[in-house]
Each structure stands twice: as structure tokens, then as C-alpha cells.
């Protein structure tokens, strides 16, 4: 029976491949460098997408499948109840109908070929490696299935999932994010600030180190004008952040108000009817199809959800609530990123941004013409003033039913500042460069909900930049790899300042730990005892954080309780109250277990979770790093990633970048085709 199913899968995938794209795999060369990074050379962009799909599947087919399973409501069939949430949201947001209605008219013929080429590559890999297929129901992959996953990710990145969970938990008030390690930094300098007259850009993302939103590095080069080095997420058919020979860009997470929740006013007697001004409308009822496994048998269940004119709708104990965000109406994000890959000038790049398909993310940009640019990008609704848009708004009037978003020109941005620099670390877009050149917050409607705060990273980056009238490339790298907190701390989500006013003599049981932290230079170095004490304390504060009222200000009693927890942890697992950060915090993969610097919200940020023997292992934070320098001779790129290019434990590239990563070093990348081929570890065609 299994042989029959495998044969059926093979035939289906081959038929789909023939339908989608006549790909000649002999036109595709995958050149693996010494770190296993694929450099893919082709004639067409469709062939390039095929080669990328094949190379990424070779390195991590499992994660790509898991991503597509989630987007196509199949994840629970493979991983069980932990996949139910993703499967529900993927149906709840209504992407299938959106794609059916808009794919043919809204996706260009050129990009359809790219999607088809990628799908053909993934399907071919599945055909040749049926033993690696997680669910035959997922295959064949189609462009629609690819966009379904992209829509799920973009809804999540717009905090749509946050509101779904809150509504289902009968909690409908917005709480600012805490401990946002998945953040990122970007900063750039042009010739007004650099000693050598060159232009620098830091692409410094903070993401999970594993899973669907961890980075995969690649170099993509076709004869149709694509030539870019950067990174992408599992299942992505093109680069999301990176550099071509003319320009480069980074993303950081931003959180202006992109998503709204509407409380519906229901008819007093007529079920499922809600009032809008002077009329009552009827909710549409939908059922999400979900699967659970009982004693190894899969059982189909369904969950009701609804649809109003405001958007997909949920019912809880307090009533019916609709969710509305621009990502629910736009399917062109992947194509916009692809066009950004191919841009050759700032004007071209900016015109691509005007297509308004990517629903969020700050963009930091630099190019060979010495242009630097920052924008708090996003699809932000044009809302009627007078409502508390950060929380739930009335869904009983057309006054709250927005239908437009702001144009790119109407968003906070900065081009060619006289200061010669910009920076962003997930903080306020109104603090992006020198004070007198920052975007003016008064020019933007408060209903847009832009961030107003600083954080430790933004404060520290600005401090470091302000030390230099001009800087060189080594100074640029020192800023990138800095790991010191500012004094005082500038957490955007909590206040622990009272930690530094504690009198050690008043608390003899934890006096030595208090002294270590108060005498600490605030540098999160692996060999620092102060950083170790603070790192363990930070992990213990989480227990008390949730119990604090807003604003989250730690009181002396909370800190002493957490310090006692810290002392117990140190003595239990390490037999001492002097523990280096690198002893406590590790970078772990396979048989490698390395000490690692960094803590949450330093520039070189790290987030960790319990590991073993009282230690933690890093799971998020510094992930893909790409440093770009534009010179008269061309572009220079260096990069690193947390582990390696492969997710297979038997591959030499499973963990071969861990040392340079923990030592704040990089590897050189190049566009020089001759050099790439000369130093290639392997050159081959996909099947």
C-alpha cells in the first residue's frame, strides 16, 4: 500500500511540475561554498526559484513542509493538538477565497512563473525523497498553497493571532509586548559620517534560531537581472532581506496599530444579527475543519466562526468580536519582496514600496550611490478619530469601518539625513537620527499608533554613534557587536531600577549577588560574573512579572524574592554564587555546547530557555547577520548565522558557523562568480 501511495505521489507531483513550468534543470547550477551556502546560477528567475526550492529542501525539507502544513490547515494531522491553533487561524482569516478571487488579476505573469518554478522544485524534491514527506495530503505544492502560508505569517506578524487568542480567552484589552527578543536592529552610515567615504548598512535580525521563522542564507543569480545575497524563511521563493550589487535593505519589526477589533452589537432576539447604524445585518457562519488524534485514530472536528462586514468574527462569553487588518485583503507581499530583490536604484526601490503589499516592518536601506533611507513601513488603516483604536472599538457603525490605508509617502521616513546616519531597534520611528532631523510625530495621526518609546538597544546604539564625529568600518562593527546595557536601563516593558538602590547589607542572604550586579559594567559578556548573576536573576523575574500591575515596576520585595530564587539556583546547580554568563547560557546544537554572550535587549541580543543542569540554551535573538559596505570598487558583504546552513545532524554544515557566531566574527560573501566556482565545495544540478 505504501508503495502505491508513493507512486501516486510521484505521478501527481510530476504532472503538477509539467503543468507549472517547463524547467530544464541542466540550466540550474547549485554551487555550495565552504560553509554549505547555496549560490544558485540560472538563466531565468523561474529556474532560480526551482533551484532555491531544491537547495533549501536538501538542507531543511522538514521545516518548509511544516510551514506549508500550517498555512494549509494540515499541521495538526502531523504534530497533533499543538497544530490546532495554526490550522484554525489559517481558515479563520479566509485566505483561500481571497486568493481564488485575486490571484489571476493581482499577481503578475512574471511572478506567477517564479511561484510555479518554486512549486515545481519542491514537488520534484518530494518525488525523489518520498521518505522525507511528512504528509502526502500536502502535495503537490501549488502557488496557492504557498501564498496561503504567506498570508498566515503576515496575519501573525500584524498581531492578528494575538487578538484571536485574547478574544478566545475573554481578554480584550491590549497589553504592550514584553521581552521582545525577536526584534532586530538596523543602522546605516553614509559618506557624511564615514572616514573612508563609503556607505555601511547593518542587517541584524533577531529571530528564532530554529523553526519556520528562522533564517536561511542563499545567493540567487539569474540572467534575468536577479543577483542577491541574503536570507529568507522556510518556503520563501525569494530573498526577504539582503544585498544586491546596487543596494541593500534590512527589516526590523515595528508595531504601529495595524489591526483592529470591533465589538458587535447583537439583535436582542434575532440570533446572529448585528446592528450597523440603523440596520441589522446577518453574520455569515463558517466551520473550520480540524483534526485530533485519539489512540492513533484521526478524528475530524469543526469549530464555528463567523464573518461580519468588519472581518472574521469570534464569539466569547462577552459577545461577538470581529478582527480587521490590511493583510486580510492583500496577496502581493511575496511579489513585492521579489521586485525589491531586483531593484537597481533608490527611485526604483521606493516605487516598489508604493505598491503597498507588505503589511509591516521597518526598512533600513543603503546603496552604492551613498543613499541611506529609513521608513516605518506598513499598511496602516485610515481611521476615524475619536475612538480608542488601541483597544476594542464599536462595530455598530460605519464610522469605524475603514477601507483605506496610508500611502508610503504618508509614513514616518528619513532620506539622506545631514547627520549621515539612521538607526532602528524596534523603537520609535521619531527617534531615528539627530534630534533636529527626526520625523515629527505631530505630523502623524495618533490613530496610526506609532511607537513612542526607546529601549535598551536604541538608547545604546545612539550613545555609541554619538561618540564619533566620523567612524570607520571597525567602529561600525564594534557598534553592531556591542553587548552593554545603557545606564540606567531603558526596558520598554518593565522597570528594574530599584535593583540598583538596594542596600546589600540589609539583605545579607543575597548580599554577594546584589554586589556583583551593582558593580557589574553592564556588559553581557560570556566570561562576566556580573552578567551571569543578572542573567539568572532575569530568568527568575519572569515569575513575578505577570503579577505586577501596569506599568510593570519591580518593587524591592519582588526583587528580593527573585534574588533568593537566583541564589538557590546558583547553589543547587553550580555550587557557588559566582557564575559566569557563559557557564549559565549556552549555544547548543548536536554535540556542540558553547558559552555565548548576550542577553535580552542588548544590541547583540539573546533569548534563552531552560536547557539542562540549571543552564539555559539560546533559542532566539541574534540570528542572521549581514554587514554591507558599498565602495567605489563594488559591494563588500560579510555574514554569519547561528548554527549552519543545514538542519541535518550528519552534515558538516549543521553547526560549522557556531564558533564564528559566538566569537562575534563573520565569513566573507561574494558576487564574484569565478571566485565562487573556484572555491566551491560542490557543484551540481538539481533533479
- Residue where the block lists cell 554572550: 597
In the structure grid, which three cell numbers stand for residue 420, read together?
549621515
Q: CA–CA distance from 115 to each of 46, 107, 355 (Å)?
A: 7, 10, 19
pLDDT at position 300, please? 87
**Which grid coordinates belong to 144?**
496557492
Interior angle at CA 425, CA 432 and CA 161, nearest 5: 120
CATH fit for domain 185-255+329-387+397-480, picks 3.60.20.10, 3.30.750.24, 3.40.50.300, 1.10.10.10: 3.60.20.10
Tens of pLDDT along 136-180? 999 999 999 999 999 999 999 999 999 999 999 987 765 655 554
Q: Where in the chain is the domain with CATH 3.60.20.10?
A: 185-255+329-387+397-480
pLDDT for 4 equals 53
What b/e sequence results for 478-488 when a residue is b if at least 16 CB atoms lie within 10 Å of its CB, and e otherwise? ebbbbbbbbee
Low-confidence ranges of the chain (pLDDT < 50): 19, 180-181
Of 235, 207, 338, 255, which Cα lies nearest the Cα of 625? 207
CA–CA separation, 374 vs 433, rounded Å? 10
Residue 292: its pLDDT value, please? 82
Lookup: cell for 421: 546616519
All 3 cell numbers of residue 644?
549552519
Q: What grid cell was written down for 31?
A: 554551487
Question: What is the bridge-based pairing of β-strands 616-631 and 585-589?
Answer: parallel
Residue pair 36/217 in contact by the 8 Å Cβ criterion: no
- Which residues in the chain are classed under CATH 2.30.120.10? 260-327
Query: Is cis: bond before 336, omega within 30 of 0?
Result: no
- In the prediction, which pLDDT does 13 show? 53
Contact present, 502 and 489 (Cβ < 8 Å): no
Neighbouring C-beta atoms of residue 684, cutoff 10 Å: 13
φ and ψ at residue 257, rounded to 5 degrees:
-80, 100
**Is residue 406 exposed (0-12), middle (13-18) or buried (19+ Cβ within 10 Å)?**
middle
Contacts of 77 (CB under 8 A, 6+ apart): 69, 83, 135, 137, 291, 298
State the number of CA atoms in the 13 A half-sphere of 547 facing the CB.
9
Q: Which CATH class is domain 492-602?
A: mainly alpha
| pLDDT at residue 170 in the model | 83
CATH of 2-25+41-176, one of 1.10.439.10, 3.10.290.10, 3.20.20.60, 3.30.1280.10: 1.10.439.10
pLDDT tens digits for 563-600?
999 999 999 999 999 999 999 999 999 999 999 999 99
Give pLDDT, residue 333.
98
Polymer length of the chain: 687
Phi, then psi, of 628 in degrees rounded to 5: -125, 135
Distance from first CA to last CA of the chain, Å, rounded? 26
Residue range(s) in the chain whose domain bears CATH number 1.10.439.10: 2-25+41-176
CATH number at 260-327: 2.30.120.10
What pLDDT, in 10s, does the model give residues 596-624?
999 999 999 999 999 999 999 999 999 99
Q: Which candidate, 540, 595, 608, places its Cα nearest to that of 572? A: 540
Cα dihedral value 603, 604, 609, 613, nearest 10: -130
Residue 16: what pLDDT? 54
Angle at 55 between CA 342 and CA 234, to 5 degrees: 75
Amino acid at each position: 500500500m505504501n508503495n502505491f501511495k508513493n507512486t501516486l505521489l510521484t505521478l501527481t507531483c510530476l504532472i503538477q511540475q509539467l503543468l507549472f513550468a517547463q524547467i530544464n534543470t541542466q540550466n540550474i547550477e547549485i554551487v555550495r561554498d565552504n560553509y554549505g551556502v547555496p549560490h544558485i546560477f540560472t538563466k531565468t528567475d523561474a529556474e532560480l526559484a526551482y533551484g532555491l526550492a531544491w537547495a533549501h529542501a536538501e538542507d531543511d525539507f522538514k521545516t518548509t513542509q511544516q510551514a506549508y502544513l500550517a498555512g494549509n490547515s494540515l499541521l495538526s494531522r502531523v504534530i497533533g493538538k499543538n497544530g490546532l491553533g495554526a490550522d484554525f487561524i489559517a481558515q479563520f482569516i479566509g485566505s483561500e477565497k481571497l486568493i481564488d478571487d485575486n490571484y489571476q488579476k493581482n499577481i503578475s505573469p512574471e511572478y506567477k512563473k517564479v511561484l510555479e518554478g518554486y512549486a515545481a522544485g519542491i514537488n520534484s524534491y518530494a518525488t525523489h525523497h518520498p521518505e522525507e514527506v511528512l504528509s502526502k495530503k500536502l502535495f503537490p505544492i501549488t502557488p496557492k498553497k504557498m501564498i496561503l502560508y504567506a498570508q498566515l505569517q503576515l496575519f501573525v506578524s500584524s498581531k492578528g493571532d494575538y487578538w484571536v487568542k485574547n478574544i478566545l480567552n475573554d481578554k480584550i484589552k491590549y497589553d504592550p509586548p514584553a521581552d521582545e527578543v525577536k526584534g532586530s536592529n538596523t543602522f546605516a552610515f553614509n559618506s557624511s559620517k564615514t572616514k573612508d567615504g563609503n556607505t555601511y548598512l547593518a542587517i541584524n535580525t533577531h529571530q528564532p534560531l530554529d523553526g519556520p521563522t528562522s533564517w536561511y542564507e542563499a545567493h540567487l543569480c539569474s540572467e534575468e537581472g536577479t543577483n542577491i545575497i541574503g536570507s529568507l524563511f522556510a518556503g520563501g521563493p525569494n530573498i526577504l532581506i539582503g544585498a544586491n550589487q546596487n543596494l541593500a535593505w534590512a527589516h526590523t519589526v515595528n508595531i504601529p496599530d495595524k489591526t483592529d477589533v470591533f465589538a458587535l452589537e447583537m439583535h436582542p432576539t434575532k440570533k446572529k444579527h448585528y446592528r450597523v447604524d440603523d440596520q441589522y445585518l446577518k453574520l455569515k457562519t463558517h466551520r473550520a475543519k480540524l483534526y485530533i488524534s485519539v489512540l492513533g485514530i484521526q478524528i475530524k472536528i469543526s469549530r464555528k466562526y463567523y464573518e461580519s462586514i468588519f472581518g472574521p468574527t469570534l464569539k466569547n462569553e462577552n459577545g461577538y468580536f470581529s478582527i480587521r487588518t490590511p493583510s486580510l485583503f492583500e496577496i502581493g507581499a511575496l511579489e513585492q519582496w521579489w521586485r525589491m530583490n531586483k531593484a537597481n536604484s533608490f527611485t526604483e526601490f521606493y516605487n516598489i514600496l508604493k505598491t503597498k503589499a507588505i503589511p509591516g516592518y521597518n526598512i533600513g536601506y543603503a546603496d552604492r550611490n551613498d543613499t541611506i533611507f529609513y521608513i516605518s513601513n506598513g499598511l496602516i488603516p485610515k481611521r476615524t478619530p475619536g475612538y480608542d483604536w488601541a483597544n476594542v472599538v464599536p462595530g455598530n457603525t460605519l464610522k469605524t469601518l475603514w477601507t483605506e490605508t496610508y500611502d508610503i509617502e504618508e509614513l514616518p521616513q528619513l532620506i539622506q539625513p545631514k547627520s549621515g546616519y539612521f538607526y532602528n531597534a524596534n523603537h520609535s520611528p521619531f527617534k531615528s537620527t539627530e534630534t533636529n532631523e527626526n520625523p515629527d510625530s505631530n505630523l502623524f495621526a495618533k490613530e496610526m499608533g506609532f511607537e513612542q518609546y526607546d529601549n535598551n538597544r536604541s538608547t545604546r546604539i545612539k550613545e555609541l554613534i554619538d561618540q564619533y564625529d566620523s567612524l570607520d568600518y571597525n567602529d561600525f562593527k564594534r557598534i553592531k557587536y556591542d553587548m552593554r546595557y545603557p545606564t540606567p536601563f531603558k526596558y520598554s516593558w518593565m522597570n528594574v531600577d530599584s535593583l540598583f538602590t538596594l542596600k546589600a547589607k540589609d539583605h545579607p542572604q543575597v548580599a554577594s549577588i546584589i554586589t556583583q550586579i551593582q558593580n557589574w559594567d553592564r556588559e553581557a559578556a560570556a566570561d562576566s560574573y556580573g552578567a551571569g548573576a543578572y542573567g539568572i536573576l532575569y530568568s527568575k523575574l519572569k515569575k513575578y512579572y505577570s503579577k505586577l500591575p501596569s506599568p510593570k515596576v519591580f518593587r524591592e520585595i519582588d526583587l528580593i524574592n527573585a534574588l533568593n530564587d537566583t541564589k538557590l539556583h546558583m547553589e543547587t546547580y553550580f555550587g557557588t554564587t559566582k557564575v559566569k554568563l557563559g557557564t549559565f547560557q549556552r549555544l547548543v546544537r548536536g554535540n556542540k555546547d558553547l558559552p555565548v554572550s548576550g542577553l535580552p535587549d542588548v544590541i547583540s541580543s539573546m533569548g534563552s530557555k531552560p536547557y539542562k543542569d540549571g543552564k539555559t540554551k539560546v533559542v532566539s535573538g541574534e540570528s542572521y547577520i549581514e554587514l554591507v559596505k558599498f565602495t567605489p570598487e563594488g559591494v563588500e558583504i560579510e555574514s554569519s548565522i547561528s548554527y549552519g546552513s543545514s538542519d541535518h545532524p550528519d552534515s558538516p554544515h549543521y553547526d560549522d558557523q557556531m564558533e564564528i557566531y559566538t566569537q562575534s566574527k563573520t565569513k566573507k560573501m561574494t558576487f564574484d562568480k569565478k571566485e565562487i566556482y573556484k572555491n566551491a565545495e560542490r557543484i551540481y544540478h538539481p533533479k
